[in-house]
Structure 1
Amino acid sequence: MNAELTGETKTAVVTGAGSGIGRSVAVELLRAGWSVALAGRRIETLEETAALTPEGTSSGTPLCVRTDVSEPQDVAALFSSVRENFGRLDLLFNNAGTFGPGGVPVEELPYDAWRHVVDTNLNGAFLCAQAAFRQMKEQDPQGGRIINNGSISAQVPRPHSIAYTATKHALTGLTKSLSLDGRPYRIACGQIDIGNAATDMTERMRSGILQANGELMPEPVMDVSDVARTVRHMAELPLEANVQFATVLATNMPFIGRG
């Protein structure tokens, strides 16, 4: 049941909201009547997302907060702004991430590139989850939900993706620990693993991407709105129910049977 139908205004933070999956999820939540804080590195892309707010919703104007999730002070400012503007937090969609340099063999990957991926995908996810957890624990009524964007790389790797894959595997551990530690405080945590949603980040899938056998092969993609609807379903469950892990992928992509 959406936020409009319940008569309550639910509040969400979406990181990486300036493009791709984050943008699509933010618009879907706005359509359903959620109040949404949009977080990302570039304020202009956040404002572009905000301009997509569907007409006729009760969401109000989204809050745009320039945020580098790898910077603790930025994360603190983001959640302070959410508290000041909305009063409470019902959902964090922990989505901000980067693949890093593509196609670089492990022996050639610069340490700075490794650190950038780890700082964004893992440390950034932890900082946002920690800030959300604190707020959800302290607010009245207590509780809320955290959904981490894991990627199917949280299950199996692609060639030459060691930094991205390592961080996404680590996110699975983050999800499990948050889910366990949140139980006393009505904080639910789940993870969505996404494969080949059509975004700028996955555009190369259409022209050809390296397979485990060394060949380049185009891969099918799915509409990113299908991901957004899945996140919304997870978000709108009562806190007594939780989708612990969901895998949403293009049906014919080489995932089952990969390797």
Structure 2
Amino acid sequence: MAVPKTAALPLGDAPTRGWRFHSRAGRCWQPGRCGSRRVRRLEGLSGSCMPGAADGSGGRGEPKRRTRQGATAIKSRNHRRQGEERPMSTQKVALVTGAGSGVGRAVALALAEAGYDVALSGRRPEPLQAVAAAIEAKGRRALAQPTDIGDEASVAELFRRLEETFGRLDVLFNNAGIGAPPVELDELPVATWKAVVDTNLTGAFLCTQGAFRLMKKQQPRGGRIINNGSISAHVPRPFSAPYTATKHAITGLTRSTSLDGRAHDIACGQVDIGNAATDMTVRMQAGVPQPDGSTRPEPTMDAKHVADAVVYMASLPLDANVQFMTVMATKMPFIGRG
């Protein structure tokens, strides 16, 4: 919050980010952690940091200004020196899986626009680095971490790096997913089935588990998990058993996560997406199988519309939740499908 130079500064109204407060006696409430070279007073009663508080000013500060509240706020350009304890962060952090392209990329960029620092995971390093560079160009921090989302050790390393870099997690968008070739059910290789399940379902579970562990212990506690469901969580497309089964299972994971997260201030919702224009939906222009046996092209929508919906879900306070949301191309053959 902006504070005029002449305004009195009640303790309850003080800006919190990057400020340190001093008592009437002039003693720092966080001694040894100010690191301030320059004291900026807002009608403060007391002096600068006590001598030896590593403020680099020898306790001189700037000329005193009095206030009835008797508090002085100081702002440091470099308030944390090497080796000091990391102060509690108020900057919000999001993790997006499958962030290198498509919906994941659109959501990651939209969250950065909304003020989040963003951790990115995906299979290919190059697209992740490109998205990270775009986020940093917006003035936000980014972490690009190539991850095998279906591998427990790889996901554990993702969350280790995330906590090491940002210290907390406010929003997880479980987005990573793959499909399978449209073949008859009895011709589907078991290896293909397992690959889809490992990525779409096990990957979402492992990331949810990692998010739970961090969100439960961080301060402020809690956070939000948003799962990418798909309209296939409602009704299937022809020859899509692995994808459809995992998306129905994601709905169950969403419900269980929402229930189990209540005690820890962890909210969970699901966005079911229909025909967002991505690399996965390019084939729709040439035509895809329909329930009546025909093959027809289908309309798509800009993935930015999905990103806007996810940012809205993420923006809610933790005492409110969008449990399920469907965002789809208006004219796609979904209603009445099957």
TM-score, structure 1 normalization: 0.94
Between Structure 1 and Structure 2, the one with more helix by share is 1
Supply the distance in 1 between the matched residues of 2:132 and 2:291 (Cα, whole angstroms).
39
Supply the distance in 2 between the matched residues of 1:70 and 1:103 (Cα, whole angstroms).
22
After the TM superposition, which residues 34-45 of structure 1 pair with which residues of structure 2 at under 5 Å, given as runs? 34-45=116-127
Aligned alpha-carbon RMSD (Å): 1.3
Per-residue CA deviations over 1:184-234 (Å, capped at 9, x if unaligned) read 100000000000000010011111110001101010100000000000000
Report the Cα offset of residue 54 of structure 1.
7.1
Supply the distance in 2 between the matched residues of 1:36 and 1:53 (Cα, whole angstroms).
8
After the TM superposition, which residues 1-259 of structure 1 pair with which residues of structure 2 at under 5 Å, given as runs? 8-53=90-135, 55=137, 57-60=138-141, 62-100=142-180, 102-259=181-338
Report the Cα offset of residue 111 of structure 1.
0.2
Aligned-residue identity in percent: 61
Supply the distance in 1 between the matched residues of 2:103 and 2:134 (Cα, whole angstroms).
14
Report the Cα offset of residue 140 of structure 1.
1.3
Report the Cα offset of residue 248 of structure 1.
0.2
Per-residue CA deviations over 1:60-108 (Å, capped at 9, x if unaligned) read 3x100010110001100001111111011001000001012x2111010
TM-score, structure 2 normalization: 0.73
Matched residue count: 251
Contact 1:27–1:54 (Cα < 8 Å) also in 2: no
- Letter aligned with residue 153 of structure 2: Q
Supply the distance in 1 between the matched residues of 2:286 and 2:132 (Cα, whole angstroms).
31
Structure 1, unpaired ranges of 5+: 1-5
Supply the distance in 1 between the matched residues of 2:136 and 2:307 (Cα, whole angstroms).
15
Contact 1:31–1:54 (Cα < 8 Å) also in 2: no
Structure showing greater relative contact order (alpha-carbon pairs closer than 8 Å, 6 or more residues apart): 1
